[in-house]
């Protein structure tokens, strides 16, 4: 009996230790992560339990196979807590090019998962307006059944975002109309214009904004 108690205690302590280790580790995987510590990703500022909007986004789409956060332009371009500032702006790395070490102005770091924690508009107004047209890689990819497409436009434009199959046939118009300068996040639910789920395969999403035109490949894998 005693043996089982020891085994049980060992398992509990290993589990707790692994939680503590992974928590510290994750904080070090986003720029200036140590400033908000566990509150970057969790509702409870001391960590554990439910994740906030940023933590949920990371868990859904930005963990690699080892469980490490994949910080980069796509995660930086999203506004996870919907407060009008991208995760990159909140963590002082708007472009998402951070790969370690100190970055930006630590005194301006705000919490990307807390809509009440936001940078002062004047301090980031310039950084917040994209400097160029960009169509980012969709995520997840491959996907099933839906995927998110992010694009940026530096000025007001008539925009269309459409999905084509490998034969160049139009499958779905995701967005069409006048858009202000900014970053946009659009979801394609894997359905055609008639609301039918499309078959597995390679698709292309194409952004047209003024004279800018770019297409990217994506894979629906059921
Ligand atoms: Ca935000």
Q: What is the pLDDT of residues 165-186, one digit of tens each?
A: 999 999 999 999 998 888 888 9
Domain boundaries, the chain: 2-128, 134-220
The confidence score (pLDDT) of residue 36 equals 94
CA 45/CA 38 separation, integer angstroms: 6
CA 208/CA 74 separation, integer angstroms: 19
Ligand 1 centre distance from Cα of residue 84 (Å): 6
- Please return the burial class of 57, using the count of CB atoms within 10 Å of its CB with bins 0-12, 13-18 and 19+: buried
CA 50/CA 57 separation, integer angstroms: 12
Ligand 1 centre distance from Cα of residue 48 (Å): 21
Tokens of 177: 């109309």
CA 159/CA 209 separation, integer angstroms: 4
SS3 content of the chain, % helix, strand, coil (to 5): 30, 25, 45
Ligand 1 centre distance from Cα of residue 82 (Å): 5
Tokens of 118: 């936001």
pLDDT tens digits, one per residue of 50-61: 999 999 999 999
Ligand 1 centre distance from Cα of residue 118 (Å): 7
The confidence score (pLDDT) of residue 100 equals 85
Contact 72, 57 (CB under 8 A): no
Ligand 1 centre distance from Cα of residue 156 (Å): 22
pTM over 0.75: no
The confidence score (pLDDT) of residue 22 equals 47
The confidence score (pLDDT) of residue 97 equals 86
Tokens of 95: 């472009």
Contact 154, 130 (CB under 8 A): yes
Please give the order of strands across the beta sheet that includes 147-153: 134-135, 147-153, 182-188
Q: What is the pLDDT along the chain (222 residues), one digit of tens a residue?
A: 566 766 666 555 555 555 444 456 789 999 999 999 999 999 999 888 999 999 999 999 999 988 899 999 999 999 999 998 999 999 999 889 898 888 888 889 999 999 999 987 665 545 567 888 999 999 999 999 999 999 999 888 999 999 999 999 999 999 999 988 888 889 999 999 999 999 999 999 999 999 999 999 999 999
The confidence score (pLDDT) of residue 195 equals 97
Ligand 1 centre distance from Cα of residue 81 (Å): 5
The confidence score (pLDDT) of residue 11 equals 59
The confidence score (pLDDT) of residue 181 equals 81
The confidence score (pLDDT) of residue 2 equals 64
- β-pair partners for 50: none
The confidence score (pLDDT) of residue 15 equals 53
Could you please state the CATH topology (level 3) that the domain comprising 134-220 is classified under: Immunoglobulin-like (2.60.40)
CA 109/CA 132 separation, integer angstroms: 24
Ligand 1 centre distance from Cα of residue 119 (Å): 9
CA 127/CA 84 separation, integer angstroms: 13
């Amino acid at each position: 009996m005693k043996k089982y108690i020891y085994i049980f205690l060992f398992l509990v302590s290993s589990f707790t230790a692994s939680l503590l280790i992974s928590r510290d580790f994750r904080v070090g995987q986003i720029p200036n992560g140590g400033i908000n510590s566990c509150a970057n990703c969790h509702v409870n500022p001391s960590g554990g339990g439910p994740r906030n909007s940023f933590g949920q986004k990371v868990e859904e789409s930005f963990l690699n196979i080892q469980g490490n956060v994949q910080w980069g332009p796509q995660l930086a371009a999203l506004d996870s807590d919907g407060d009008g500032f991208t995760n990159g702006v909140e963590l002082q790395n708007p472009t998402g090019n951070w790969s370690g070490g100190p970055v930006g102005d630590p005194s301006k770091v705000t919490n990307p998962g807390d809509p009440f924690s936001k940078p002062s508009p004047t301090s980031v107004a310039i950084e917040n307006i994209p400097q160029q047209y960009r169509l980012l890689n969709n995520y997840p990819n491959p996907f099933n059944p839906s995927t998110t497409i992010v694009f940026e436009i530096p000025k007001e434009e008539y925009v269309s975002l459409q999905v084509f199959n490998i034969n160049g046939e139009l499958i779905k118009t995701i967005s069409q109309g006048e858009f202000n300068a900014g970053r946009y996040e659009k979801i394609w639910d894997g359905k055609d214009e008639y609301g039918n789920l499309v078959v597995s395969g390679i698709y292309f999403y194409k952004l047209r904004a003024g004279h800018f035109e770019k297409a990217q490949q994506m894979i629906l894998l059921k």
